[in-house]
Amino acid sequence: MQLYNKLSAEERVNLIQEVGKNRLTLSFYAYAHIENPTNFRNDLFIGWNKLDALGRIYVAHEGINAQMSVPAEKMEAFRETLQAYDFMKDIRLNVALEQDNLSFLKLTIKVRGKIVADGLNDKTFDVTNIGTHLKAKEFNEILENSNTIVVDFRNHYESEIGHFKGAITPDVETFRESLPIIKEQLKDHKEDKNIVMYCTGGIRCEKASAYFKHQGFKNVFQLEGGIINYAKQIAEDGLESKFIGKNFVFDHRLGERITNDIVSQCHQCAKPCDNHTNCENEGCHLLFIQCDDCKATMENCCSTECQEIIHMSLLDQAKLRSGVKNGNKIFRKGKSDKLTFKYAGDRSAKLEKVEQPVDNALTSSENRKDIRQKTKVKKIVIGRTEHYYVKAQVGLFIIENHSITVDDKIMISGPTTGNQEMFVKSMFVNGSDGNHAVPGDKVTLALPFRIRLSDKIFKVLE
């Protein structure tokens, strides 16, 4: 009886691509009393693993919270697994607007104390006494009411790239932080205002609305199904979108575009941009907004310090990370002082340039000198690996930045592959013989070494 994943992410990608079938990215949640979350978790894993369903799922005594990728042809069978539980019969599935067969590469089901960390003692109030659900049309109408206050219960890195017009967007890193902040901010409007809440898929508002009603707020409303369901409804019903920008999502896409508005900026140059990236440095992985130009110049890194570190040997990088307890400091999601341009919360605030601080021991003058001495190759990232054909020893790459030409020297780099250099002697561009490829092109190269799907392709600068 299999209760855990046996395939690596790379093996899963190969399998999905070889099968060539469409998958659907979706999310759902349900509050319910679950007597034995561990048994529930195991039963779900067994059933969903048979269907090749993937995703990130949390279960607790209070219910289930799931973001998943399911084969399109097995959706009915998947729905049947939900119907087996009374509290999930006829449950709403929020299907993503933009589909990606590789949105999730593992089936991870974890037992947690809560399905959303909110810091609340649920025994002190009725969690089922929730606010009034609003569909998209009703939500648009109530936003036009001058007596309405609309509140975004997501985190700053989510609301920064997209939000409802006029919404309060707390400058917080977690849901539990936002609850006391919003309660204090709205304490004088418990009876005279419509308190309208929204979040990504509805789960955070489900708990927040019950909590605010318990705190004495009389007119509490929430967007049914969150932004995901709202976007679907406005498209189907031809409604105006009161949401502007992108909706942040928690799979590798990191965002679904709702409107063409770009309401945020590159955290490194202040150019209008709403694309998130994770710092390339394994010891950092900071989530931040980075435009294509900065991505190319900074090699997917959040700072020059991290850029220097990625040029070190993998062994030296591991030594540098060893024993460093950064905790949440490296996962501040766009709040690091390393970022020259950043803003969150108050969208009317002026954008200010922040002085680059002197970092900890990693960036002291002595260590900076050591890092520079170990930087042997100057290179610029130009794309990523899409596929590796083992028998043919051929790699398929997507060119994302700059260009590549026959006779260019390149490096393919990754945690397992290491840094492999070679000259391009010939290549296929979009399936045909070619000498030059630009961003958007797919390039096939014969390789004298094995590569992995997490590898990047660089152009070596002489």
Q: How far from the centroid of its chain's Cα atoms is residue 417's Cα?
A: 25
Q: Provide the Cα torsion 261, 264, 270, 276; round to 10°.
A: -110
Per-residue pLDDT reduced to its tens digit, 152-169: 999 999 999 999 999 999
Q: Please, what is the average pLDDT of the chain?
A: 85
Look at residues 415, 173, 420 and name the one whose alpha carbon lies nearest to residue 281. Answer: 415
pLDDT in the model for residue 78: 96
Confidence at residue 167, expressed as pLDDT on a 0 to 100 scale:
95
pLDDT of 360 over the 80 cut = no
Cβ-proximal residues to 319 (8 Å cutoff; 6+ apart), any chain: none
pTM of the predicted structure, to 2 decimals: 0.67
* pLDDT score of 343: 55
Between 132-146, 231-245, 301-315, 368-382, the lowest mean confidence (pLDDT) is in: 368-382
Q: CA–CA separation, 29 vs 58, rounded Å?
A: 9
Of 347 and 158, more confident: 158
Q: Which of 199, 279, 291, 302 does the annotation list as catalytic?
A: 199
Interval 266-307: pLDDT, tens = 999 999 999 999 899 888 888 999 999 999 899 989 998 999
pLDDT at 319: 87
What's the confidence (pLDDT) of residue 102?
85
Q: What is the pLDDT of residues 83-129, one digit of tens each?
A: 999 999 989 998 887 778 888 899 999 999 999 888 888 888 888 89
Read off the pLDDT of residues 166-220 as tens digits, 9 standing for 90 and up: 999 998 888 999 999 999 999 999 999 999 999 999 999 999 999 999 999 999 9
The Cα-based distances of 152 to 29, 51, 160 in angstroms read 19, 35, 11
Q: Residue 365's pLDDT band (boundaries 50, 70, 90)?
A: very low
- Is 199 designated active site? yes
Average pLDDT of span 19-27: 88
